[in-house]
Amino acid sequence: MTPLERHVREAFAAAFGGAPDCIARAPGRVNLIGEHTDYNDGFVLPAAIGVETLVAARRRPDRQVNILAADMDGARTSFDLDQPILPDPSHSWSNYLRGMLFAMQAGGSELCGADVAVAGSIPRGSGLSSSASFCVATGSAFNALAGLGLSATAIARLAQAAECDFVGMRCGIMDQLASACGQEGHALLIDCRTLACEPVAMPQDLAIVIVQSGIVRGLVHGAYNERRAQCEQAAQTLGVAALRDADMAMLKAAKERLDPLCFARARHVITENDRTLAAGKALNAGDLAALGRLMAQSHASMRDDFAITLPPIDRLVELLQDAIGEKGGARMTGGGFGGAVVALMQSDRVGAVIDSVNAGYRTPNGDRPTIMIEQASAGVSLLA
Ligand code: GLA
């Protein structure tokens, strides 16, 4: 039993007595490449990672849902499934669970009351999808408790609806699908239009290193939603259903008709889709030099065309790129405006690269950054 599972079991027993009926675990994810392409019906290449959220739950005979945050000094909140489920500003940590149950009910699921304890190891605001993993774990636990028979993909779709319709973040489906459908030892090349997930084996000697910049994303839903609206506007001007259907020739031909910001946003998405497909091939072939070039181009495009990076993160990426050299690469990962940087390199480079980061980068508090060495892990599952 992992320390996190022991922790959530003990917290559950202390709060509610006895043991949960089930514990669902859902991992966080790191996106290797393909940023802000998912809601444009495009391609992404994430991997589920070892950090995770656990949701321990036991069915209740009534319609009450009691939630304990095992990580937050035992904070608790409750609500009734027969009343409209609303966000709770005084227990905002519970809103992802509330949103998931809201989305499940809206989707026709017959839920049951439950006692629930939640614990997790994903740093919040780091671009590693703590919220998606919380929603997916919640969906999986209630799926088991109420015998709903939902597939992992169905849970991912509902988790996305929870964020879009309840939390107000108009996100795509990447984080939820990666958390639900991840495969050990593999990244997933996801077609966000069809939701087809193609596993791409991670080469044995390839290390995934994640450096947390220490710049915690604040409330960036506004900036995220604005980028999405700009992409939708560009697609409309180009006369396509989504930017997935556009190419650079179409974009250039429409330059005069597009607002310059929308032009730049669309250029990022169109080129990033191409890079993501190329990166899937490079990963498959174990071509680390090509992967590194694609990651560098992706970061530059996020910086210059999509405007979602920050100067300290640009410097951290450059530091990593210099330390890694030609065999591998680095880029900011996730929605942007802070969070983490992902680096791929041969395993034997990891020690030297970590030394360079520790020597050359400090978080806004003046500390050394937290560095995670990760493996591609399996998607959502039930522990008990
Ligand atoms: C966030 C969203 C995802 C995706 C990324 C950017 O993580 O939740 O849907 O859009 O940003 O790639």
Instruction: Give residue-wise pLDDT tens across range 267-306.
Output: 999 999 999 999 999 999 999 999 999 999 999 999 999 9
Residue minimizing CA distance to atom 2 of ligand 1: 171
d(CA 294, CA 174): 19
Instruction: Give residue-wise pLDDT tens across range 25-60.
Output: 999 999 999 999 999 999 999 999 999 999 999 999
Q: Are 263 and 251 in contact (CB under 8 A)?
A: yes
Among candidate residues 175, 205, 355, 367, the one labeled active-site is: 175
- Mean pLDDT within 187-196: 98
Write down the pLDDT at residue 55.
98
Average pLDDT, the chain: 96
Residue 174 Cα to ligand 1 middle (Å): 6
Write down the pLDDT at residue 343.
98
- What's the pLDDT band for 341 if we cut at 50, 70, 90? very high
Q: What is the dihedral of CA 156, 380, 51, 38, to 10 degrees?
A: -30
- Mean pLDDT within 70-93: 92
Report the DSSP pairing between strands 114-120 and 64-69: parallel
Helices (H), the chain: 3-16, 95-106, 130-145, 152-161, 174-181, 221-238, 248-253, 260-285, 288-304, 311-324, 350-360
Instruction: Give residue-wise pLDDT tens across range 204-245.
Output: 999 999 999 999 876 568 899 999 999 999 999 999 999 999
Write down the pLDDT at residue 69.
96
Identify the residues whose C-beta falls under 6 Å from ligand 1: 31, 35-36, 38-39, 171-172, 174-175, 334-335
Residue minimizing CA distance to atom 5 of ligand 1: 335
- What's the pLDDT band for 200 if we cut at 50, 70, 90? very high
pLDDT of 333 higher than 60 = yes
Domains of the chain: 3-198 (3.30.230.10), 202-374 (3.30.70.890)
SS3 185: coil
Instruction: Give residue-wise pLDDT tens across range 243-252.
Output: 999 999 999 9
Those residues with Cβ within 8 angstroms of residue 256's Cβ, 6 or more apart along the chain or in another chain: none
Residues, the chain: 384
- Mean pLDDT within 107-121: 97
Write down the pLDDT at residue 216.
87
- The pTM is what? 0.96
